[in-house]
Amino acid sequence: MAARSKARKRAVDVLYEADLRSRDVIELLRERVADSNPPVSEHAVRLVEGAHEHATEIDRLIGEHADGWTLDRLPDVDRAILRMAVFELLWVPDVPDAVVIDEAVELAKALSTDDSSSYVNGVLGGIIRREIPTA
């Protein structure tokens, strides 16, 4: 698995755990960095901190594009994947949008329900079409 793919998986793990255990995500991130088992890369830290910093806007966007679902009704892991991916799409310019979406879809396939990958793809596609102007 490529380094950035591992970083995304680790970021999702931290976001998911914080959400599931009602923990402060930055405090949990610091614990995981200190534990270093498994290691938390700089990119994973960037993704978690960014998702936390932009949480209100990210959750608003997910809510607007989550057809028929409220944010609270989404599976916890899907919510974590979407939060990480929306941050990377909108605030990390050095990663192509197609790569972010593909990685998020692959995480959903590996970690969530059978329908999650297409749902994650649809939500992210809707956000991209609406939030990122085309040239």
The label of the residue with tokens 């994947």 reads 81
| pLDDT by residue, tens only, the chain of 135 residues | 688 999 999 999 999 999 999 999 999 999 999 998 888 999 999 999 999 999 999 999 999 998 878 888 899 999 999 999 999 999 999 999 999 999 999 999 999 998 899 999 999 999 998 776 554
| Residues 6+ away with beta carbon under 8 Å from 16 | 76, 77, 79, 80
Which helix (H) or strand (E) segment is 101 a member of? helix 97-111
Domain span holding position 21 = 3-131
Structure tokens at 56: 């209100």
Structural domain count, the chain: 1
Closest to 80 measured CA to CA, from 28, 32, 16: 16
CATH number, position 87: 1.10.940.10
